[in-house]
Amino acid sequence: MQGAGSSASTGYTGQKVATTYELPWVEKYRPVVLDDIVGNEDTIARLKVIARDGNMPHMIISGMPGIGKTTSVLCLAHQLLGSAYREGVLELNASDERGIDVVRNKIKGFAQKKVNLPPGRHKIVILDEADSMTAGAQQALRRTMEIYSNTTRFALACNQSNKIIEPIQSRCAILRYSRLNEQQIQKRLSEICKAESVSITDDGMAALIMTAEGDMRQAINNLQSTVAGFDLVNSENVFKVADQPSPVAVLDMIRHCMHGDIDKALERLKGIWGLGFSPVDIITTMFRVVKTMNEVPEYSRLEMLREIGSAHMIVLEGVQTYLQLSALIARLAKAHLKPELFVI
C-alpha cells in the first residue's frame, strides 16, 4: 500500500471513517496494521513474524514510490510498541534532513534518550528517502547504528538500495518491494469507492490503474482528484486529472500506422502534440497501448515496441522534438507496408 504515517484514529477499517475535518484519502485510508497492507505478501509475512517475536533487526526497505514501504514500517512500529509509539519512534525524511548534523544531533540524541518501552522492545528510527542522505551522513549513521544497537533499531526506506553505503547494507536485513498489480490496486480502490459512495465506471477504474503504474498512492490521489473535479469517475475525467494523453487517441494513431496511412497518423499526432503533452508522455502512453493490443500478432507488437523504445532513448537524451515523434510514426507505418513498395 502507499507510504507515510498515520494514527489509529484514521486507520483503514474497510468502512468510511468519520473525522472532524476532511483528510486526504491517501491518509484517511492508510493501514495501521500489517494485515491491511496490500501486495508484497511474502515481505509482509516476514514483518508479521518480527511483530510477533518482537526482535526487530536494522532493515532497509527498497522499492518504487507509493507501494507501501513507509506504511509497512509504521504499522510494524505500532504493533511492536503499542501505546509507547509516540515516545519510542523517531521519523525523519532524509530527503529534507540529510546532512551529517541531523545524524549527530537528532538521531544520536534520540538514541541516547531513555524511554519506557514494553519488555524486549527497542526504540525505532525511521528514515524515509534514506538514499538521499549524503555520504558523510551515512558514515556517521553507520557508527551510530553500531554504538546504540542494544537500545535502538533503524529502518531505512529508499527507492534504490544501491545508493546506501555497503557498511550500512551489511548491518541491515534488506526487504525489496515490487510494484502492485492491477488486481491489488483495483481491490483497494473499489473498497474506497464503496466507503465514499463514489460513482465510477469500468473504464474509469481501468484508467486509474493505468495512470498509477503500480503506485497505490498515485491511484488514490487521482481517484480523489477526479471525484473533487467531476463527481463521475470515468476514463475521460481521469485522463484530464492525470494530465496524460488519452490512450484512445494514441490507439487510433497507431492503428493508422498499421494500415500504412501515415497522413492520418501524423494528423492524430499533431492533435495530441497540440494539447501540450511532452514527447516522453506521448511515447510512454504509446508503449502502454501497444503492450495491450492483443489483436496484433506478437511479432508485430515486438517490432513496434522496439521502435518505440529506440525513440524513447533518443528523447531521454534530450532530443525532445516533434520531428523525433514524426520519425517514429513514419517507422511504425513503414514496418506495416509491403517491402516491394520500397524497391527502386
pLDDT digits (tens, 9 = 90+) for 72-104: 999 999 988 888 888 888 888 766 666 777 777
Give the highest mean pLDDT range of 41-45, 92-96, 291-295.
41-45
CA 28/CA 90 separation, integer angstroms:
22
Question: What is the pTM for the complete model shown?
Answer: 0.76
Q: CA 133 → CA 12, 127, 230, 292, 294, distances in Å?
A: 32, 10, 40, 39, 44
The answer as to CATH 3.40.50.300 being correct for domain 33-176 is yes
Q: SS3 of 59, please? A: strand
CA 128/CA 113 separation, integer angstroms:
21
Span 271-278, average pLDDT: 89
Q: Give the pLDDT band (50/70/90) at residue 269.
A: very high
Query: Where in the chain are the domains?
Result: 33-176, 247-342
Span 237-249, average pLDDT: 86
Q: Give the pLDDT band (50/70/90) at residue 276.
A: confident
Q: Give the pLDDT band (50/70/90) at residue 5.
A: very low
Please, are residues 171 and 77 in contact by the beta-carbon 8 Å criterion? no
Out of 1.20.272.10, 3.30.360.10, 3.30.56.10, 3.40.640.10, the CATH code matching 247-342 is 1.20.272.10
Please, are residues 161 and 49 in contact by the beta-carbon 8 Å criterion? no
Q: SS3 of 181, please? A: coil
**106 CB contacts (<8 Å, ≥6 apart)?**
90, 92, 97
**In the chain, pLDDT over 90 holds for what percent of residues?**
24
Give the model's pLDDT for residue 2. 45
